[in-house]
């Protein structure tokens, strides 16, 4: 018998932590709210657009560089709208400079991580939505320490804006300088911090100077499968890609690998995913970590194939990144190839995720900042 971890009720955890949220930042607000705030500070409303253009448009975060603002106003506006949210503790690079991981300290000492990945045709940032995570998936490093707190909207957005600035400086080898993609696949369960994550998505996709101007289609929100939140997301009128961390096609195994499955079963979570696809026209990305002798059997490939045949879905197999002390390992390549072959034979589009960032513990499921800080 397997002992299943108990999942903390997320809304309670979030409520009790509200006090720890950071000071307000312009990325928490839409443009009209920024204008109202600037007027309250006794400045003309157009200053909101000016400071937003620096932050979102030019990726400038140091008030000293905002020379079109009168010096006195500059400091007052920066104090009110641009408090420091993320203090870099460590930045690491690997894959010949194409992957960089940033470890940040937040205002209350919490640590979170983000990863920047350059490819010949795009630049992707993987961002965190919570400090820690309450979902307790046993193969994921972040899941081991539990949830510390939700991130604010601006703490989420600022990871992308900061790293967009790093990309723009040209340091990401062999990649274009402009950030194009954001994936919510860092620390945390995005749909457990629903309101702030949705606001962050809106800000990332609003055209500058209101936001960062990304295409909604280039933003991916990944979830363990919080069914009510998935259904709510479908009603938001957003064209973001939904990634579902399935990891097993049967309830018996998924109850263990993704404990929230004890609440919402495979059939329910897939039904919510298909409704999202029908509503948005967007293909669902099915995430499946390949774990040796746990979920990689040919019969599970066939069962997964039957569940997905004819659906608007793509399978992303992720070679397991073993976490420290884990009893699990990645599937052998031959087993992985057979799994892919069976899914494709069932007509299911399937790829194997590249394993960027392994040397810097920046690969999927390796983000565990609390351990790094020791
Ligand atoms: N909470 C969200 C997003 C965070 S993780 C979710 O679960 O979807 C992003 C992806 O990495 C998820 O699919 C997650 O299951 C996967 N992952 C976690 N730990 C991993 C590991 N050790 N090896 C490979 N993938 C892992």
Residue-wise pLDDT tens digits, 287-311: 999 999 999 999 999 999 999 999 9
The whole-number pLDDT of residue 214 equals 98
Whether 277 has a pLDDT exceeding 80, the answer reads yes
Question: Ligand 1: does its nearest atom lie under 6 Å from the Cβ of 219?
Answer: no
**Calpha distance 169→264 (Å, rounded):** 44
Phi and psi based region of residue 288 (left: phi greater than 0; alpha: psi -120 to 50; beta: remaining): beta
> Which residue reads 């630049």 in tokens?
123
- pLDDT more than 70, % of the chain: 92
Rg over CA atoms, the chain: 21
Residue nearest to atom 6 of ligand 1 (CA): 223
Q: Do 173 and 116 contact (CB within 8 A), yes or no?
A: no
Beta carbons of 220 and 185 less than 8 angstroms apart:
yes
Q: Tell me the pLDDT band of 332, cut-offs 50, 70 and 90.
A: very high
Is any atom of ligand 1 closer than 6 Å to the C-beta of 320?
Answer: yes
Query: Which residue's structure tokens are 């298909």?
Result: 274
Among 92-96, 145-149, 249-253, 263-267, where is mean pLDDT lowest?
92-96
**Residue range 152-165: mean pLDDT, rounded:** 98
| pLDDT in the model for residue 8 | 47
State the Cα–Cα distance between residues 316 and 220, nearest whole angstrom.
13
Handedness of CA 256, 259, 262, 264 (dihedral sign): negative
CA-based nearest residue to 235, from 190, 178, 280: 280
Q: Is 104 in the pocket of ligand 1 (CB under 6 A)?
A: no
| Confidence band of 322 (pLDDT split at 50, 70, 90) | confident
Angle (deg, nearest 10), helices 194-205 and 153-168: 30
- List the structure tokens of 27: 């990325």
Q: How far is the CA of 318 from the centre of ligand 1 (A)?
A: 9
> How far, in Å, CA of 51 to CA of 69, rounded?
8
For ligand 1, say whether the CB of 189 is within 6 Å of any of its atoms: yes
Q: What is the pLDDT of residues 72-102, one digit of tens each?
A: 899 999 999 999 999 999 988 888 888 999 9
pLDDT surpassing 90 at residue 144: no
Mutate to test the pocket of ligand 1, among 364, 366, 367, 368 (most ligand atoms within 8 A of CB): 364
Q: Is the pLDDT of residue 368 over 70?
A: no
User: Could you give the CA distance from residue 104 to residue 118 in angstroms, rounded to a whole number?
Assistant: 20
H-helix or E-strand spanning residue 196? helix 194-205
Ligand 1 nearest atom to the CA of residue 322, by list position: 22
Residue with tokens 């069914």: 227
Q: Whose CA is nearest to atom 9 of ligand 1?
A: 185
CA dist 150 and 148 (Å) reads 7
- Write down the pTM of the prediction: 0.93
User: Which residue CA neighbors atom 3 of ligand 1 most closely?
Assistant: 185
Q: Which two tokens stand for residue 118?
A: 């350059």
Q: What's the 364 CA to ligand 1 centre distance in angstroms?
A: 6
Average pLDDT, the chain: 91
CA-based torsion, 63, 66, 67, 70: positive or negative: negative
Which residues are known catalytic residues?
113, 364
Q: Yes or no: say if 321 and 368 are a contact pair by the CB < 8 Å rule.
A: no
Ligand 1 site, residue 287, Cβ cutoff 6 A:
yes
Nearest CA to ligand 1 atom 13: 245
Alpha-carbon distance values, 88 to 19, 96, 268, 342 (Å): 23, 21, 40, 44
Distance (Å) from CA 221 to ligand 1 centroid: 12
The torsion of the CA quartet 297, 302, 304, 306, rounded to 10 degrees, works out to -170
Ligand 1: residue of 140, 144, 295, 371 to mutate (most ligand atoms within 8 A of CB) is 140
Burial string for 296-312 (b: 16+ CB within 10 Å, else e) reads beeebbbbbbebbeebb
Contact 292, 39 (CB under 8 A): no
Structure tokens at 192: 């457990």
User: Distance between CA 264 and CA 255 in Å, rounded?
Assistant: 9
Task: Check pocket membership of 364 for ligand 1, CB cut-off 6 A.
Answer: yes
- Count the helix, strand and coil residues of the chain and give each as a percent rounded to the nearest 5: 40, 20, 40
Reply yes or no on whether the pLDDT at 329 is more than 60.
yes
Ligand 1 contacts CB of residue 256 (under 6 A): no
């Amino acid at each position: 018998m397997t002992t299943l971890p108990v999942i903390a009720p997320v809304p309670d955890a979030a409520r009790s932590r509200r006090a720890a949220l950071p000071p307000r930042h312009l990325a928490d607000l839409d443009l009209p709210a920024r204008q109202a705030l600037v007027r309250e500070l006794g400045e003309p409303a157009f200053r909101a657009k000016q400071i937003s253009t620096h932050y979102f448009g030019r990726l400038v975060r140091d008030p000293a560089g905002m020379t079109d603002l009168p010096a006195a106003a500059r400091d007052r506006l920066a104090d009110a709208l641009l408090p420091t949210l993320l203090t870099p503790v460590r930045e690491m690079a690997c894959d010949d400079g194409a992957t960089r991981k940033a470890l940040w300290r937040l205002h209350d000492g919490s640590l979170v991580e983000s990863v920047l990945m350059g490819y010949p045709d795009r630049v992707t940032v993987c961002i965190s939505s919570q400090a820690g995570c309450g979902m307790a998936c046993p193969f994921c490093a972040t899941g081991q320490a539990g949830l510390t707190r939700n991130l604010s909207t601006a703490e989420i957005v600022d990871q992308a804006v900061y790293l967009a600035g790093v990309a723009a400086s040209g340091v990401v080898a062999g990649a274009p300088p402009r950030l194009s993609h954001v994936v919510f696949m860092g620390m945390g369960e995005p749909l457990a911090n629903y309101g702030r994550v949705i606001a962050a998505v809106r800000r990332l996709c609003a055209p500058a100077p209101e936001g960062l101007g990304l295409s909604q289609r280039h933003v991916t929100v990944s979830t363990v499968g919080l069914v009510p939140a998935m259904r709510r997301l479908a009603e938001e009128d957003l064209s973001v890609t939904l990634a579902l961390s399935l990891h097993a096609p049967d309830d018996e195994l998924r109850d263990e690998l993704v404990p929230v499955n004890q609440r919402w079963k495979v059939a329910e979570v897939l039904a919510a995913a298909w409704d999202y696809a029908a509503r948005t026209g967007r293909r669902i990305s099915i995430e499946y970590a390949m774990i040796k002798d746990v979920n990689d059997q040919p019969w599970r490939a066939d069962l997964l194939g039957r569940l997905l045949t004819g659906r608007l879905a793509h399978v992303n197999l992720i070679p397991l990144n073993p976490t420290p002390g884990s009893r699990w390992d990645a599937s052998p390549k031959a087993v992985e190839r057979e799994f892919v072959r069976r899914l494709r034979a069932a007509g299911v589009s399937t790829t194997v995720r590249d394993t960027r960032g392994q040397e810097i513990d920046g690969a999927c499921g390796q983000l565990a900042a609390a351990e790094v800080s020791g």
